[in-house]
Amino acid sequence: MKKLIFAFLSLSILLVSCNNAEVEQLKQENENLKKTVQQREQDIVNFMDVFNDIEENLALVRAKEQLIAKQAGSAETGHDRVEAVKNDIRAIDQLMKQNKQSLKNLSGKLKSSKTENKEIKRMLDNLKNMIVSKDMEIVGLVSDLESLNYEVEELYTSVADLRAENVKQGRLIDIQANQLNAAYYIIGTEKELKEKGAITKKGGFIGIGRVEKMLEDVDQELFTRIDIRRTKIFPIDAKKFKLVTTHPSDSYIIRKNEETKRYFSFEITKPVEFWKSSKYMVLSVKK
């Protein structure tokens, strides 16, 4: 009987010990889980702070770009306006440097972090694409300003980086500059443009409010490619004309012979503004 009681007590003690061990293990696992969740939440907060900083910087860059376009297109001349444009390019350069460094730091943290979050990875990739796209846009802006005799190439780091890369890889910067400054145009009568498939008529009531539109996915071979830094004057001979594509009305002029009452020249006076909305120009003329 004593042996039976002793065995029972021993079993009870063992069960209690096992239960205590399991409880402690569960407590530890719960604590580890809480720490993991807290760390993940903190990582997300940190990542979002950087995301917000970069997006704010990009917003400032966009504002600076608009200011530069306004200053570059102004009829006013002088040292102050040139310096204002240069200062804005310097400010953009610093903001983009901050963006690139923040993105680099963020990528490093994501790799070293124990947090595996596909949404953050997707946001990071999107942010990287936005920065790369904005960087190339600014390189194009710098090139546009150079064509207007603003000496700003040395003020934007990416241009200098491209030039250094150009030394290694031949004429890379020239190729990119040509791509950034490429535009396409076609001039013809409404009938010619229709026959070539450059425009179509859509919408509106019969005889009223007809709308000329460019066809989507139009054949690029129909157009003549130009360098917008060099080609700004387009000779024409027309009784009437219509600019089918959308461009600011104050970015071009059309010259008319007052004796013959015919238009003889279409001239782009503000290339940066004219080509900003579209790299295609369709000019319909009536002979």
Residues 153, 93: Cα–Cα separation, whole Å: 11
User: For residue range 93-110, what is the model confidence (pLDDT) as tens digits?
Assistant: 888 888 888 888 888 877
What average pLDDT does the segment 65-92 reach? 76
Residues 232, 265: Cα–Cα separation, whole Å: 10
Looking at the chain, the whole-number percentage of residues with pLDDT higher than 70 is 68
Boundary residue ending a domain (157, 175, 193): 175
pLDDT at 227 over 50: yes
C-alpha neighbours within 13 Å on the C-beta side of residue 177: 18
| 203 part of a folded domain | yes
| 8 part of a folded domain | no
- 127 shares a domain with 40: yes
Looking at the chain, the whole-number percentage of residues with pLDDT higher than 90 is 10
What single-letter DSSP state applies at residue 228?
A: T
CA distances from residue 136 to 59, 151, 236 in whole angstroms, order as listed: 16, 18, 34
pLDDT at 127 over 70: yes
Residues 51, 128: Cα–Cα separation, whole Å: 11
pLDDT at 128 over 90: no
What average pLDDT does the segment 142-157 reach? 78
Q: Identify the top-confidence range among 77-86, 148-157, 258-267.
A: 258-267
Boundary residue ending a domain (148, 175, 202): 175
pLDDT band at residue 33 under the 50/70/90 scheme: low
| 106 part of a folded domain | yes
User: For residue range 201-226, what is the model confidence (pLDDT) as tens digits?
Assistant: 653 333 333 445 555 556 677 889 88
Query: Would you state the pLDDT for residue 204?
Result: 31
How open is the CA angle 250-84-161, to the nearest 5 degrees?
A: 100
Domain count, the chain: 2
- 137 shares a domain with 237: no
pLDDT at 283 over 60: yes
User: For residue range 229-262, what is the model confidence (pLDDT) as tens digits?
Assistant: 889 999 988 899 889 888 999 999 999 888 888 9
- 271 shares a domain with 141: no
Nearest residue to 71 via CA among 273, 247, 274: 273
Which strand ranges, in their side-by-side order, compose the sheet holding 233-238?
233-238, 262-268, 252-257
What average pLDDT does the segment 66-76 reach? 70
- 224 shares a domain with 250: yes
| Tokens read off for 218 | 């139009």
Calculate helix-pair angle for 157-168, 172-180, nearest 10 degrees: 130
What average pLDDT does the segment 4-29 reach? 55
Using the structure block, give the residue that is written with the tokens 């990119």: 176
Residues 110, 96: Cα–Cα separation, whole Å: 21
| 242 part of a folded domain | yes
Boundary residue ending a domain (155, 175, 195): 175
3-state SS, residue 149: coil
Residues 222, 185: Cα–Cα separation, whole Å: 9
Between 16 and 263, the higher pLDDT residue: 263
The predicted model scores a pTM of 0.45
Query: Would you state the pLDDT for residue 91?
Result: 87
| 41 part of a folded domain | yes
Amino acid at 267: E
Range of the domain at 193: 183-286
- 249 shares a domain with 188: yes
Nearest residue to 184 via CA among 229, 223, 234, 228: 223
